[in-house]
Amino acid sequence: MFMFSAFILLHLMTPADAFAVPEVIKDADKGIGVEVEKTSPERDRSLQDGALIYGMTPVYPEDIKEGIYDAEALSSSQFFKITDAKLDIKDGRIDAVITLSSTSYAYIYPGTAAEAGLADRSEWITADESSGFGRFRIEAEALNKEMPCAAYSKKKHKWYDRDIVFLASSLPADAILTEMNEDGGTIEDTRDAAVRVIYIALAIIIAGGIANHFVKKRYYE
């Protein structure tokens, strides 16, 4: 009974993904760079479930040494494959230049597809195709943080929601001025998570003991 009570309490108190295994959702073998017909017009089947690794902590410009870096960028869509990313960290900004695997997109917009459709055309970022691939310059708020980046398909003449993440772990170790753990979180985050686990364990022990006490009282007295 004690173990059953503890299990129920743990299930109720713990977030569903609290003990999730870190995972990067990325398919390096796909990303052919063209939109395809969807069986349902409401669902963009090229979208994956997300790009972030569980437990990442955003790294902002003030925590990065100024300079120009090659970086790895993850995309939420296999049809928006980023083959190259360069970051220019300067004056409290992160300016990124991303290169796609194709020229399927004429514009991108730093926001959602709905926002892009309402924005003034001057706010759209035009592709530089001089290299034979789509290249775009965009400002990023932080590394390790998923950011919306709508993309306008030449073939479909419509905006698609995309999300991208620049990985802090892909920069040289001395470029990041805050201490990170191997999963992309800060040392402080790791300590806080450990404290939360201890509190949950104590709560389970206490609640289980109380439940066990009342069970014994009911059946043995």
Rounded distance, CA 97 to CA 136, Å? 6
Rounded distance, CA 218 to CA 106, Å? 72
State the average pLDDT over residues 84-95.
98
For 18-70, write each residue's pLDDT tens digit.
Answer: 433 333 333 334 333 333 434 444 444 444 445 556 668 999 999 999 999 99
More confident site: 48 or 205: 205
State in Å, rounded, how far the first CA of the chain is from the last one.
17
CA angle (161 as vertex; 69, 16 as ends), nearest 5: 85
Most confident of 92-101, 174-183, 187-196, 204-213: 92-101
pLDDT for the residue numbered 40: 40
State the average pLDDT over residues 3-9.
47
Nearest by Cα to 166 from 184, 182, 179, 180: 184
Q: pTM above the 0.75 mark?
A: no
Residue 106's φ and ψ, nearest 5 degrees, are: -85, -30
- SS3 helix, strand, coil % of the chain, rounded to 5? 30, 25, 45
pLDDT for the residue numbered 163: 94
Q: Residue 89 pLDDT > 90, yes or no?
A: yes
pLDDT for the residue numbered 151: 98
State the average pLDDT over residues 6-13.
47
Rounded distance, CA 180 to CA 24, Å? 18
For 126-165, write each residue's pLDDT tens digit.
Answer: 999 999 999 999 999 999 999 999 999 999 999 999 999 9
Confidence of residue 121 (pLDDT cuts 50, 70, 90): very high
